[in-house]
Structure 1
Amino acid sequence: MINCSMNIDHYTDNSTYVSYPLVVYGVVHNYIVFVLGTVANSVALWCISRCTKTNVAMKLLMMSVFFSLLVICLITRPVMAEKLIGSMYCDTSRPDDRVLLGFLILYSFCAQFELAAIAVVAVCRAVAVWASNAHVLRLRVAVCAVVGIFIYSFGTAVFLLGPMMANYIKDPLIANVVNGVYFFLNTFVPNITTMSCYVAMIIAMRRNGRRMATVKSSHSRFVNNATRGMFAVFVSNLVFGLPHSVYHMMPRPPLSYGIIFHVLFSMHFVVDPFVFMYFNHSYRRRVGERLWTAWVWVVGMCGAPPPKTPTHLTTSTTTSSGGKDTLHTKDQRAEQNV
């Protein structure tokens, strides 16, 4: 195999060198994200869909976050790996340019959809915390929000990013302006919106601290639990996404930088569902119970004696049935208010 593309980037002077191991790592990383991201985001969607405490409207918003990540991992990551493999084998038509352009736009659309959906969830959480009375998120509001996110993400991906990727914009100055507008709408606006909402929630919780401490309702416990999971997803996006945005704002980024920063950015496709489930106690327990059941089945198939159930999986069953019913009823009522 001739590594003829290792010294060629998308600039005419061919001045950038990209090491062969870096390209190989990029291929392997894409397939790792394909496998782990598909599994993790599918489990996150399962947790949300099976949760009896969450109302349908909030389920729709949260599921839209992880469904967009699932599409990215399941559909676009193998195509990105194929593109790197094509560069390794000096095959510029692997995959076809039109196919690659379509998948890149799909990838960008889903990434924008995720950020915008996280921002909308944060807005809904902030409204619920600041509301003086019980705030119920209506299904029609959630549907309108998802439709608006779709239109917003589709418009920026197709009408701003698409012309740049298809080289329809020839003037470098105009291209820089369009690129700046795209990343302002795609990254800055949703991140600032999300951050502002969480700051507002912190302020509201501090102001209402005495009242919430007096009430000690399951509503406050649930809001903290659900908000904790989505805030972890936002932090993950911020940590892995900010360097990616800086890279795309650079006037002439080398091809090696492109591989490194996109590898870093794509890590959050896997990290997001993991931190979401870890910081949401009920989801973490539900996944732990299923994993433990599977492990007991595997041990039984091997003929070994069944292992002892861990304490953290049995504590939820120690409450009396009456107490559990009361807590369950409170949690259901509290959930309807967020």
Structure 2
Amino acid sequence: MTTLSLIQAAATRLSGHARLTPLLNAPLLDATAKRRILVKAECLQLTGSFKFRGAWSAVSALPADRRAKGVLAFSSGNHAQGIALAAQRHGIPSVILMPSDAPAVKIDNTRSYGAEVILYDRTTESRDALGAALTAERGLHLIRPYDDPQVIAGQGTIGVEIAAQAADLNITEAAVIACCGGGGLATGIALALEPHAGFRVQTAEPAGFDDMARSLATGTHQSNATATGSICDAILTPTPGTLTLPVLARLAGAGLTVTDDQALHAMALAFTHLRIVLEPGGAVALAAALFNPDLPDTVIVTASGGNVDPATFQTALTRFAA
């Protein structure tokens, strides 16, 4: 299981390899939301998302002899790119299973980082079965996108940074909203912030794919009815992780949901007021802070990824930019 000490060890291994991303604020964005919003800009992280942290943490933690055989991952794009770059910088092979409907920019970038990309149909094929076959055939080490203690530890380094950056701003109480698929990001942040009683983590998901929110509400694993149907491709997971749900059930508040239009609107506002580029799945936490009235006066959100298809970004700006 991931612990605070595991997160601190991951932070040590990440030092000099990952970026310390800023905590951004814009008065006009605050005015729109009618609350203070601070944005942890992980869209500026290497590979364009927070996933590089967990990838580097997991790859660097492997024993050298096991790491040398290579790694396997499955992802719609952000975990894929993080693993590909971490493997490349460690000088080892990587194989990535990606759904065929993943954004082209994410598939192309993953290949550019040196990974072998294998596409599959997420509506008819099981990535777990495909991954098991590849692991057995090639001796690769599977690094799961969220149900991996070292991946969660890497994502938890964001929480360590948030605590330090908030302290510099004299912020001792805030809701901390994390974009959520399987829950690795939210879990890592929640564990890192557990010693800081004034911070409460909440998850944000797209409407119709709110398996974590429903699982937190019921106390049991809930699944989504479909695998596709939202523009927030980065966080369309079937059900919460087995490692993540128990932690979030203990440490997180109620889950939040946003519509695709609200995610697009948040993307436009992030560009207008902060000059950062977000993908839909990376904007849902900001959307929750902007459009949910039942939140405290200070909210910290993760802008978790910026690997957006140009056409989708253009749609956001055309429809919602001021």
Is TM (by shorter chain) over 0.5?
A: no
Q: TM-score range by the shorter chain?
A: under 0.3
Between Structure 1 and Structure 2, the one with more helix by share is 1
Between Structure 1 and Structure 2, the one with more strand by share is 2
